[in-house]
Amino acid sequence: MLAILCLFSAISLTSLSHTVEEKVGQLLMVHFHGESANNDARALVQDVKVGGIIYYNWANGLTSPEQVRNLSAGLQGLTQTNRHPIPLFIGVDQEGGVVSRLKEGFTHFPGNRALGETQNPDLAESTALAMGKELAIVGINMNFAPVVDVNTNPNNPVIGERSFGDDPETVAAFGAKALLGYQQAGIIPTLKHYPGHGDAQVDSHKDLPIIDKTLAELEYVELLPFARLASSADVIMTAHLLVPALDPEKCSTLSEKTIAYLRNTLDFQGVIITDSLVMEGLLKSCVSVDEAAIQALNAGCDILLLGGRQLASGDGDLELSVSDIQHIHLALVNAVKEGCISEKRLDEAFERVLRLKEHSASDTLVKSSPLNSMSS
Q: How confident is the model at residue 369 (pLDDT cuts 50, 70, 90)?
A: very low
Closest listed residue to residue 137, CA positions, set 162, 111, 107: 107
Q: What pLDDT, in 10s, does the model give residues 277-315? A: 998 878 887 888 999 999 999 999 999 999 887 654 445
Annotated catalytic residue 31: no
How many domains are contained in the chain?
1
Phi, psi (rounded to 5 degrees) for 69: -65, -40
- Whole-Å CA distances, 123 to 93, 185, 191, 218: 20, 15, 18, 27
Does some domain include residue 24? yes
372 inside domain: no
Residue 145 within a domain: yes
Residue 275: active-site member: yes
Determine the average pLDDT of the residues in 252-269. Answer: 97
Domain assignment present for residue 232? The answer is: yes
What is the per-residue pLDDT across 17-29, written as a single tens digit (0 to 9) for each?
899 999 999 999 9
Residue 178: inside a domain: yes
Residue 375 has pLDDT above 50, yes or no: no
Residue 103 lies in a domain: yes
What is the predicted pLDDT for the residue at 222? 97
pLDDT at 14: 54
Instruction: Specify the pLDDT at position 310.
Output: 66
Q: Pairing state of beta strands 142-143 and 188-194?
A: parallel
Which of the four pLDDT bands, split at 50, 70 and 90, describes residue 241?
A: very high
Q: CB–CB of 240/251 below 8 Å?
A: yes
Catalytic residue, chosen from 275, 290, 302, 363, is: 275
Residue 3 lies in a domain: no
Query: Annotated catalytic residue: which of 18, 31, 197, 205?
Result: 205
- Whether residue 303 lies inside any domain: the answer is yes
* Distance in angstroms (rounded) separating the CA atoms of residues 180 and 97: 19
Range of the domain at 122: 20-360
pTM surpassing 0.85? yes
Model pLDDT, residue 283: 81
Contact indicator for 198, 153 with CB cutoff of 8 Å: yes
Give the CATH number for residue 168.
3.20.20.300
